[in-house]
Amino acid sequence: MKKITLFLVFIGMMALQSCEVTEVYDDVDNGPRTEVFEVTTSFNYNNNYNSLVVFDPPIYSSDSVLVYHLYDTVNGQDIWKLMPQTYYFNDGGELDFNFDYSRFNVNIFLSANFSLNTVPSSWTQNQTFRIVIIPGSFAKTVNKNNIDSVMSALNVNNSEIKKVNL
């Protein structure tokens, strides 16, 4: 009987020896996190017509990022356009405002079907963008084309928008 008990203890120890518990501690998720940043930047040859905004802390891998370009102000109302956005010129030129993002940053950049060096400064200097970070599951339920709908759905008001200086 002692040999059987000793044998079972030995098997039990071997079985438990091979078990490994790995815990990954990530940012504590206290529910959906929504952030809105406003960035004013200029594009030129020296910055390769790019502007990088770093997320501190990094966003969750499930989050989505929306970027809006302040296109105009009419009667005191800001006109925001969801990016990517293509603007067409009378001479056939096309200017694209675009972005890509990771958990760590968003890169806003310009591209065109002509030399960016010839883009009028009204399109490259002091351009304002709103960067909206939304939980991935929430991204499917909101009309992303209208920034007012997004802000309302996320329950974010203008006083909560963080101004970022680059």
Give the burial class of 97: count Cβ atoms within 10 A of its Cβ; 0-12 exposed, 13-18 middle, 19 or more buried: buried
Using the CB atoms, write b or e for 127-144: b if 16+ within 10 Å: bebbbbbbbeeebeebeb
- pTM for the predicted model, two decimal places: 0.75
Contacts of 127 (CB under 8 A, 6+ apart): 40, 41, 42, 43, 69, 70, 97
Q: Two tokens at 19?
A: 């078990």
Q: Count of CB atoms within 10 A of residue 83's CB?
A: 18
ω into 32 cis (within 30 of 0) = no
Q: What is the pLDDT along the chain (166 residues), one digit of tens a residue?
A: 555 554 554 455 444 444 443 333 344 444 456 789 999 999 999 999 999 999 988 999 889 999 999 999 999 999 999 999 999 999 999 999 999 999 999 999 999 999 999 999 999 999 999 999 988 777 666 778 888 888 888 888 776 777 877 6
